[in-house]
Amino acid sequence: MKITVIGTGYVGLVTGTCLAETGNDVTCVDCDREKIDMLCRGDIPIYEPGLTELVGRNAVAGRLHFTTDLDSAASTAKFIFLAVGTPPAEDGSVDLSALNVVVDQIASHLAEDAVVICKSTVPVGTNAAVAERLKELTGRECDVASNPEFLKEGAAIDDFMKPDRVVIGARRKAVADSLWDLYQPYLRTDKPLLVMSPESAEMTKYVANALLATKISFINETANLCERAGADINDVRRGIGHDSRIGFAFLFPGVGYGGSCFPKDVLGLAAVAREHGVAPLILDAVDEVNNRQKYVLTEKIERHFDNKLSDKTIAVWGLAFKPGMDDVREAPALTLIDRLLDLGAILRVHDPVAIDNVRKEYGDKLIYCTRPDDALKDADALAILTEWKEFIHPDFEAMRRIMRQPVIFDGRNLYDPGQMKDAGFAYYSIGRPAVS
Ligand SMILES: NC(=O)c1ccc[n+]([C@@H]2O[C@H](COP(=O)([O-])OP(=O)(O)OC[C@H]3O[C@@H](n4cnc5c(N)ncnc54)[C@H](O)[C@@H]3O)[C@@H](O)[C@H]2O)c1
């Protein structure tokens, strides 16, 4: 099947590559020439486990191509996936300008039987608006389907290859059937392909992300309460998680959610609710709780050092918004870094893969350390922001020798407070009693 994927970012690149892997002839298009040049050389612009090998294999096999030439890529494809970014606008609504530019550009090149598939996360009603715009520009009805993407950065290939479900929003059965055919290789373990209206498909994506974000904000607010009330959030979490109606997923307290999706999708759904005259009370609270939670660890640091940080060196472990990837968009680590820099602290930062992305933003304001123990040199405290596996069992004795003061602020509850006490550390975590 000839496929064009427009937008070769996280979603577009993974989608195009995984579709090529099952034998399709895929062309990935992007307006960013630098990105396309990199991909043509075999360099991958993002960190995603397994992606380099998969891109290389399919490119060598002649099934995966990269270009900036949208016009010709659009004219030959049966399926045209739109996977451009849909960032938040100033007012929190969704900025659809990239999507609209692409729709206008492909209109005059679409084959008669082409299906345009919106994979970008877009507000309810976008599919209908795209279909209307294409009709206006082509003078005929064009098939426009919605196919929201649920992959997680860090596990993107696995998520695409073995999805929990595929959601298709289509107005015509023939379109849904052709997409079933395309996705059938990924659904061999009997996972469902759910066909619904484009409006429901568009809503499904936002509701999924907003509900996951809600769970995170809920457990974070509860953790803060546990801390004040002398309870331990970890015990509470276990106490509720074993209830089969509740479960454990997305109920780990921390320093707030980040990344390119949850923050913008919570705001995006709230904006849609307002547009439709529905007050998004829960969504507003989820966003507010999260914005506050990003400061919880910094406040503990400020209190511990009596607000005097200008002569302190703080080591930071973990910069990416979650482990397994180098994405630092909206990462809680950046909120902490900004605040501590404002207070005059010296920051020695380490992350297994995200240092280059942080360096692009902060330049020489930070000391970048390629090893975790380098970051600890002369540190008055360590702050942990991302739960990378390699941080789970450090050599605490060696850490005590390297650090100026044995103090840990753990934003991901990696360690047991009792063990930290025995190891001679002052230890602050989230929603659990402090060891001082
Ligand atoms: N990143 C995720 O984990 C994830 C998961 C599910 C859904 N989504 C959604 O998928 C969409 C894409 O997200 P992403 O993270 O891949 O974004 P991204 O910013 O990584 O990539 C978007 C790409 O689109 C390109 N682009 C913009 N305008 C273009 C144009 N006119 N022509 C060609 N290319 C153009 C950009 O250069 C960029 O490479 C968003 O709507 C996002 O919400 C993202």
Token couple for 355: 């240092």
3-state secondary structure at position 240: helix
Kindly give the number of the ligand 1 atom that is closest to the alpha carbon of 12.
16
Does residue 434 sit within a domain?
A: no
Token couple for 204: 């499904």
Whether residues 367 and 390 fall in one domain = yes
Phi/psi for 245 (5° steps) reads -75, -20
Per-residue pLDDT of the chain (436 residues; tens, 9 = 90+): 999 999 999 999 999 999 999 999 999 999 999 999 999 999 999 989 999 999 999 999 999 999 999 999 999 999 999 999 999 999 989 999 999 999 999 999 999 999 999 999 999 999 999 999 999 999 999 999 999 999 999 899 999 999 999 999 999 999 999 999 999 999 998 899 999 999 999 999 999 999 999 999 999 999 999 999 999 999 999 999 999 999 999 999 999 999 999 999 999 999 999 999 999 999 999 999 999 999 999 999 999 999 999 999 999 999 999 998 899 999 999 999 999 999 999 999 999 999 999 999 999 999 999 999 999 999 999 999 999 999 999 999 999 999 999 999 999 999 999 999 999 999 999 999 999 8
**Per-residue pLDDT at 380:** 98
CB contact at 8 A, 152 and 123: no
3-state secondary structure at position 407: strand
CATH of the domain at 412: 3.40.50.720
Please give the tally of structural domains in the chain.
3
Whether residues 270 and 404 fall in one domain = no
DSSP H or E segment with residue 175: helix 173-183
Whether residues 78 and 88 fall in one domain = yes
Measuring from atom 4 of ligand 1, which residue has the nearest CA? 11
**Per-residue pLDDT at 113:** 94
Other residues' Cβ atoms within 10 Å of the Cβ of residue 353: 15
Of 5, 31, 35, 84, the residue with max ligand 1 atoms within 8 A of its CB, to mutate for a pocket test, comes to 84
State the distance from the centre of ligand 1 to the C-alpha of 256, rounded, in angstroms.
23
Kindly give the number of the ligand 1 atom that is closest to the alpha carbon of 101.
31
Token couple for 350: 């380490």
Whether residues 239 and 303 fall in one domain = no
State the distance from the centre of ligand 1 to the C-alpha of 7, rounded, in angstroms.
6
Does residue 92 sit within a domain?
A: yes
Q: Among the three residues 172, 196, 220, which one is the final residue of a domain in this structure?
A: 196
Q: Among the three residues 153, 178, 196, which one is the final residue of a domain in this structure?
A: 196
**Distance of alpha carbon 388 from alpha carbon 101, whole angstroms:** 39
Whether residues 12 and 79 fall in one domain = yes
Other residues' Cβ atoms within 10 Å of the Cβ of residue 245: 5
Range of the domain at 246: 206-292
Measuring from atom 43 of ligand 1, which residue has the nearest CA? 121
**Distance of alpha carbon 411 from alpha carbon 318, whole angstroms:** 10
Whether residues 190 and 89 fall in one domain = yes
Does residue 36 sit within a domain?
A: yes
**Distance of alpha carbon 123 from alpha carbon 272, whole angstroms:** 7
Phi/psi for 423 (5° steps) reads -80, 0
Does residue 349 sit within a domain?
A: yes
Q: Confirm whether 226 is a catalytic residue.
A: no
**Per-residue pLDDT at 238:** 97
3-state secondary structure at position 115: strand
State the distance from the centre of ligand 1 to the C-alpha of 262, rounded, in angstroms.
14
Of 5, 11, 122, the residue with max ligand 1 atoms within 8 A of its CB, to mutate for a pocket test, comes to 11
Measuring from atom 30 of ligand 1, which residue has the nearest CA? 31
Best CA proximity match to 16, nearest among 160, 165, 218: 160
Distances, alpha carbon 21 to alpha carbons 28, 117, 335, in Å: 14, 19, 39
Task: Indicate the pTM of the whole model.
Answer: 0.95
Does residue 241 sit within a domain?
A: yes
CATH of the domain at 218: 1.10.1040.10
**Distance of alpha carbon 340 from alpha carbon 316, whole angstroms:** 11
Whether residues 151 and 210 fall in one domain = no
**Distance of alpha carbon 337 from alpha carbon 314, whole angstroms:** 10
**Per-residue pLDDT at 210:** 98
State the distance from the centre of ligand 1 to the C-alpha of 396, rounded, in angstroms.
41
Q: Among the three residues 275, 292, 309, which one is the final residue of a domain in this structure?
A: 292
Whether residues 278 and 316 fall in one domain = no
Whether residues 41 and 82 fall in one domain = yes
Indicate the residue type of 269.
Answer: L
Best CA proximity match to 95, nearest among 208, 213, 331, 264: 264
**Per-residue pLDDT at 242:** 97
Q: Which letter, b or e, does each residue of 256-276 get, where b requires 16 or more Cβ atoms within 10 Å of its Cβ?
A: bbbbbbbbbbbbbbbbbbbee
Whether residues 91 and 170 fall in one domain = yes
Where does 243-375 show beta strands of DSSP type E? 313-317, 346-350, 367-368
Token couple for 85: 């970014």
Task: Tell me the H-state helices in 87-162.
Answer: 97-106, 126-138, 156-161
Whether residues 365 and 242 fall in one domain = no
Whether residues 322 and 214 fall in one domain = no
Does residue 435 sit within a domain?
A: no
CA atoms within 13 A on the CB side of 66: 28
Measuring from atom 20 of ligand 1, which residue has the nearest CA? 9
DSSP H or E segment with residue 25: strand 25-29
Kindly give the number of the ligand 1 atom that is closest to the alpha carbon of 29.
33
- Which is the catalytic residue, given 18, 28, 261, 369? 261
Residue 195 CB partners (closer than 8 Å, separation 6+): 168, 169, 170, 176, 180
Best CA proximity match to 270, nearest among 330, 196, 348, 213: 213
Does residue 201 sit within a domain?
A: no
Ligand 1 binding site (Cβ under 6 Å of any ligand atom): 6-12, 29-32, 35, 70, 83-86, 98, 101-102, 120-121, 149, 151, 153, 260-261
**Per-residue pLDDT at 78:** 97
**Burial class, 112, CB count within 10 angstroms (exposed 0-12 / middle 13-18 / buried 19+):** exposed
**Per-residue pLDDT at 92:** 86
**Burial class, 60, CB count within 10 angstroms (exposed 0-12 / middle 13-18 / buried 19+):** exposed
State the distance from the centre of ligand 1 to the C-alpha of 340, rounded, in angstroms.
31
Helix/strand/coil percent split, the chain, to 5: 45, 15, 40
**Distance of alpha carbon 8 from alpha carbon 43, whole angstroms:** 13
Of 100, 260, 267, the residue with max ligand 1 atoms within 8 A of its CB, to mutate for a pocket test, comes to 260
**Per-residue pLDDT at 421:** 97
State the distance from the centre of ligand 1 to the C-alpha of 82, rounded, in angstroms.
9
Does residue 436 sit within a domain?
A: no
